[in-house]
Amino acid sequence: MGKYFGTDGFRGEANKNLTAEHAYKIGRFLGWYYGRNKEEGEKCKIVIGKDTRLSSYMFEYALVSGLTASGAEAYLLHVTTTPSVSYVARTEDFDCGIMISASHNPYYDNGIKLINSNGEKMDEETILKIEAYIDGLSGEIPFATRENIGRTVDYAMGRNRYIGYLISLATRSYKNKKVGLDCANGSAWMIAKSVFDALGAKTYVINNEPDGTNINTNCGSTHIEGLQKLVKEKGLDVGFAFDGDADRCLCVDENGNVVNGDMIIYIYGCYLKERGKLAGNKVVTTVMSNFGLYKALDEAGIEYEKTAVGDKYVYENMSANGYRVGGEQSGHIIFRKYATTGDGILTAIKMMEVMLEKKKTLAELAAPVPVYPQVLKNIRVTDKAAAQNDPDVQAAVKAVGEKLGADGRILVRESGTEPVVRVMVEAGEEALCEKYVDEVIDVIVKKGYRED
């Protein structure tokens, strides 16, 4: 990770540690960088999407100012999902894509995610060059003048083509299926309903009235209780909850129970294996996946890889080895045949496919995955690296690991997107998980790392 960009872009509180000036400089650099080797009269093309946060408009205009000042053409998708920017960038000859979103974070945070022309997350080498420019370490960039100044293009049609692509992936009609959608007052607020309506579902939509400050507020994949209630009250067949930029999806089965990313990986992995299409007989998980997933995969005869947390690392492993499905417990699921990044609405479509093709409910499909008690707590800190590497904190972690032995595990890691250290314990009893997580957090607090 660089100074500004983490595992999922440059993220921070709007106008505090992520400012309009940062966005302008990123635009200036990208417009120059991708335009520097163009033939005379040709301009680079960069596509931009944003979520529904109040500050997303400010960052959009700042990016556009920087891009056009450097001679680039900025194509605006307006409010859309992160995976739609990835899709448009890789299918419509753009030099790169930009998504303005802080994903599942609260509304006052925002982020700038950079996507290359293949629809993948931007490479580290380019990211470091951008950071050097932001810090004034790489010299001045010339302004475009006269006819070389860039322009903006309203490109809502790109978003519409993405919607058409999603619809084309369904294998059967959703007629007579009652589906709940929690759009998190974010990027999916119009797109998800359009897709499921077009496929014939009877849709029940909640949290689809964004006002700039209610994105992710007690809704979406991080607060799935509302969708669980909706599914049970309305007797729905299934529910799908997205996060702010709709690159995540968690499911709710017909009984109101959550089907998380681990279960989704299991369900689709088994589906591919049964059809002889599970490349390498492997799925890709992260170190945060539950013990229960691995037990179920072993029973199904499916092998697995483990990566660091972050769908970036999951995709890199999948791409290098040709694997077809992988993701995170949080709902970032990658179906590599169809997308180069996590896509919440695509995930929902794939779960509908398995349900319809196998003629089973989501509860039946997820039943073989036992869920081991797992407690994860976040603590906001002044210095993530210092807190995690403190000798006393490491000693506490080691002591918990020794107590758990082969019956559980502890994982302490820095968030790649927030000033947070995450402490996770998995064991046979939830009370034990709580006890050991609190032991480690108490040490972090006593050593003075907690942010007031």
Please confirm, yes or no, whether 103 is among the known catalytic residues: yes
Contacts of 192 (CB under 8 A, 6+ apart): 181, 183, 205, 240, 242, 246, 345, 348
Please calculate the CA angle 186-187-193 and round it to the nearest 5 degrees.
100
Euclidean distance between CA atoms 385 and 24, whole angstroms: 29
> Is 298 known to sit in a ligand binding site?
no
Q: Exposed, middle or buried, 19 (CB in 10 Å: 0-12/13-18/19+)? A: middle
Euclidean distance between CA atoms 272 and 323, whole angstroms: 11
From 103, 289, 330, 415, active-site residue: 103
3-class SS at 381?
strand
Q: Please, are residues 305 and 289 in contact by the beta-carbon 8 Å criterion?
A: no
Q: Please, are residues 151 and 68 in contact by the beta-carbon 8 Å criterion?
A: yes
Instruction: Show the 3-state SS of 46-101.
Output: EEEEECCCCCHHHHHHHHHHHHHHCCCEEEEEEECCHHHHHHHHHHCCCCEEEEEC
Euclidean distance between CA atoms 258 and 246, whole angstroms: 17
Here the tokens at position 19 are: 């400012």
Phi, psi of 106 (to 5 degrees): -65, 165
> Is 407 known to sit in a ligand binding site?
no
> Is 103 known to sit in a ligand binding site?
yes
- Please state the separation of Cα 46 from the chain's center in Å: 21
User: Residue 262 is which amino acid?
Assistant: D
Neighbours of 232 (CB within 10 A): 16
Q: What is the DSSP string of 207-270?
A: S----SS-TTTT-GGGSTHHHHHHHHHHT-SEEEEE-TTS--EEEE-TTS-EE-HHHHHHHHHH
Q: Which residues are catalytic?
A: 103
Residues within the annotated binding site? 103, 243, 245, 247
Residues within the annotated binding site for Mg(2+)? 103, 243, 245, 247
